[in-house]
Structure 1
């Protein structure tokens, strides 16, 4: 059985109006690659390290699918919309 994969993102929005362009485009990429949101926003408790405004965990069926979503034209167009609208760290990790 292939291990699932996860995007883990930490985001602080600095320009909500500009960030809305990302929010309008990103769902197309996530739908195309069958992404499932496990956590998006909501209350966060930072135990160690810097605080971020939003935490996001997105599940994919496998690592190849998660990587393909990030590299897709659809996601890269969305990413372009958020580049000056937030601070973000995004990781892709393979599950166990």
Structure 2
């Protein structure tokens, strides 16, 4: 079964308040088997638009990613994040097919 991913681009207007969201999201992310693959860090943006922060989170499946997103625990965390950030979020299924080469 392919893994699932959250791909988020984020602008944060109040980093101190955003810390409350980061603390609150830890429990639901752990409950659904999440693993951070990208969590901020330096980046290049050679094409298209960008936000100041990029995050990629891996889940055991797309369904687990969706279940986490819709969980009451994560929705409570979003309530802390929403007033101090703008987020572009994609929840997507991974690819297990043939690779170049």
TM-score normalized with structure 2 length: 0.90
What is the deviation of 1:49?
1.8
Paired position in structure 1 for 2:13: 14
Q: How many residues align?
A: 95
5+ unaligned residues in a row in structure 2: which ranges? Answer: 96-101
Which ranges of 4 or more aligned residues in structure 1 deviate by more than 3 Å? none
Q: Can you list the C-alpha shifts for 1:14-72, whole angstroms capped at 9, x where unaligned?
A: 11122122011001111001101111001110111222111100001111100000001
Aligned to 1:61: 60
TM-score normalised per structure 1 = 0.94
Q: Which residue of 2 aligns with 1:70?
A: 69
Structure 1 unaligned blocks of 5 or more: none
- Higher Rg of the two aligned structures: 2
RMSD value, Cα: 0.8
